[in-house]
Amino acid sequence: MRMWAGVTASVIGGAAVATLLGTSLSLAASSPPQLRASVHGVAQTSSGTLPHAYLTIATYPDSLAGEHGANGGAHPDWVSYGPSTNLEVPAHALVTMTIDQYDTGGTIDNSYFAGVHGTLGGTETVNGKTITGISADDVGHTFTLHMFPADQPGVFISVPLPAVSASAPSLANGYPKPNVVTFSFITAGPGRYVWNCEYPCGSQYAGFGGPMSTQGYMAGTLTVG
């Protein structure tokens, strides 16, 4: 009887562990709500006349304004992108992205990522001014889009998002006045890509752990389709 009881207990214990694991895995694997670019008119480009799609996201010094809800979810103090990190843009279109950057920053280890790479014209605009890069000492975050090693059109785009100065005025939402960054790129056929931040704004691993390696914070997906 004792053995049976022991077996029963361990099976129940195992089932409980499996249930908990299953729950946390399914939560981690569930995709955030998809944010789709909206198309307004057409644009004349070197690839011809294309639909012009627009997408606006933001970077925050915490996770109170994005997909984790107003209480910030599991890590309210983690830096985040919002309102979603699950992005979708149309294929064969000109995409113009706007990123409202609400966070402070500092010096980026790898100054390559203080430059603009892979955008239309090799530029971004910061608060309306067109530039090809920013000071490596003045980086808040980056938006860096990579290709998957799969049979689909390749892409690499990286734009630096300048840090907000510590003396920037506060807005009604409690965040400082953001730096507004825009850039454009032309999409090819359907594909699925990942993006992340290359400024070490996270925890552990020299700043590349925690929010830096977690979708919903400083990493996400971009579907072209």
> Footprint of Cu ion on this chain (CB under 5 A)?
141, 197, 199, 201, 218
Q: How far is the CB of 159 from Cu ion (least distance, A)?
A: 12
CA distance 171 to 180: 14
Q: How far is the CB of 142 from Cu ion (least distance, A)?
A: 7
How far is C-alpha 26 from the chain's CA centre?
21
CA distance 187 to 197: 21
User: Of 185 and 195, which has the nearer Cβ to Cu ion?
Assistant: 195
Neighbours of 202 (CB within 10 A): 21
CA distance 214 to 71: 18
Residue whose entry in the numeric block shows the structure tokens 């195992």: 14
Q: How far is the CB of 202 from Cu ion (least distance, A)?
A: 7
Neighbours of 170 (CB within 10 A): 9
User: Of 68 and 141, which has the nearer Cβ to Cu ion?
Assistant: 141
Q: How far is the CB of 211 from Cu ion (least distance, A)?
A: 7
Exposure letters 26-44 (e unless 16+ CB within 10 A, then b): eeeeeebeebebebeeebe
**Minimal CB distance to Cu ion: which residue?**
197
Closest among 66, 52, 134, 73 to 100, alpha carbons compared: 66
User: Of 96 and 144, which has the nearer Cβ to Cu ion?
Assistant: 144
Residue whose entry in the numeric block shows the structure tokens 């709500």: 33
User: Of 102 and 199, which has the nearer Cβ to Cu ion?
Assistant: 199
Q: How far is the CB of 212 from Cu ion (least distance, A)?
A: 6
Residue 218 · residue 197 · CB < 8 Å:
yes
DSSP state of 13: H
User: Of 139 and 155, which has the nearer Cβ to Cu ion?
Assistant: 139
Q: How far is the CB of 213 from Cu ion (least distance, A)?
A: 11
User: Of 53 and 218, which has the nearer Cβ to Cu ion?
Assistant: 218
